[in-house]
């Protein structure tokens, strides 16, 4: 069972989130208790994030769960058209991380930000003891990405 229980109302084409009274609509809109749209923001990955009940979550996850049922373990909300802002139920489905990655390659939306030359420079800076955040900021990636490169967990072929 998910953290949010959904109740369907097919007559109005809406799905209710009973606590705290939000509504998920067939066009992917999420309405607050007063009926106005829930305002969110676009995160670093280009996906829409919203806050419900004090929790920040992916809007795609909320819509997918509302219209396609609870998220099966290990699955992700996948955008069929590759547009991470198209959170309509018809565009969303639950997929494995592998299948979602295959889709991203098919859509042309998965690209490496880094080149082999970047990785070599990152490792040089990492091995010299430079802090992770400045390196990450310079390359537009996370500190975790820098750590994985520095520890040869990723980009092992370089």
pTM of the model: 0.65
* CB crowding 13-41: b at 16 or more within 10 Å, else e: ebbbbeeeebbbbeebebbeeeeeebebe
Domain membership flag for residue 158: no
Q: Is residue 48 part of a domain?
A: yes
Rg (CA), the chain: 19
DSSP-based helix, strand, coil % in the chain, nearest 5: 35, 20, 45
Q: Give the end of a domain, one of 90, 107, 124.
A: 107
Is residue 12 over pLDDT 90? no
What SS3 class is residue 31? strand
**How far is Cα 13 from Cα 62, in angstroms, rounded to an integer?**
16
Q: Are residues 44 and 103 in the same domain?
A: yes
* Tens-digit pLDDT profile for residues 93-126: 999 988 988 888 787 776 667 888 999 999 999 9
Is the domain of 48 the same as that of 73?
Answer: yes
Domain that holds residue 52: 7-107
Rounding to the nearest 10 degrees, give the CA dihedral for residues 124, 129, 130, 133: 100
How does residue 33 score in pLDDT terms, banded at 50, 70 and 90?
A: confident
Q: Residue 10: pLDDT band by 50, 70, 90 thresholds?
A: very low
Q: Please write the tens of the pLDDT for every residue from 46-102.
A: 899 998 888 899 999 999 998 999 999 999 999 999 899 999 999 999 999 889 888
Flag whether 1 is in a domain: no
Domain-located, residue 155: no
Of 69, 59, 68, nearest in space to 29 by CA: 59
CATH number of 97's domain:
3.90.75.20
Please give the pLDDT value at position 1. Answer: 35
Do 85 and 146 lie in a common domain? no
Residue at 31 is within a domain: yes
Q: Are residues 99 and 136 in the same domain?
A: no
125 in the same domain as 57: no
Distance CA 115, CA 79 (A): 27
pLDDT at 18: 53
What pLDDT score does 2 carry? 45
CA angle 97, 67, 11 (to 5 degrees): 170
């Amino acid at each position: 069972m998910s953290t949010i229980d959904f109740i369907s109302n097919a007559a109005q084409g809406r799905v209710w989130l009973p606590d705290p009274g939000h509504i998920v609509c067939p066009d992917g809109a999420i309405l607050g208790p007063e009926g106005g749209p829930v305002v969110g923001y676009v995160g670093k990955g280009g996906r829409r994030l919203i806050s419900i009940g004090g929790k920040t979550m992916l809007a795609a996850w909320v819509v997918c769960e509302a219209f396609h049922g609870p998220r099966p373990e290990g699955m992700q909300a996948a955008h069929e058209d590759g547009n991470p802002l198209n959170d309509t139920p018809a565009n969303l489905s639950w997929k494995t991380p592998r299948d979602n990655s295959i889709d991203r390659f098919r859509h042309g939306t998965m690209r490496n930000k880094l080149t082999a030359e970047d990785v070599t420079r990152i490792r040089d800076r990492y091995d010299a003891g430079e802090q992770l955040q400045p390196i990450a900021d310079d390359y537009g990636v996370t500190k975790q990405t820098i750590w994985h490169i520095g520890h040869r967990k990723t980009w092992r072929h370089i």
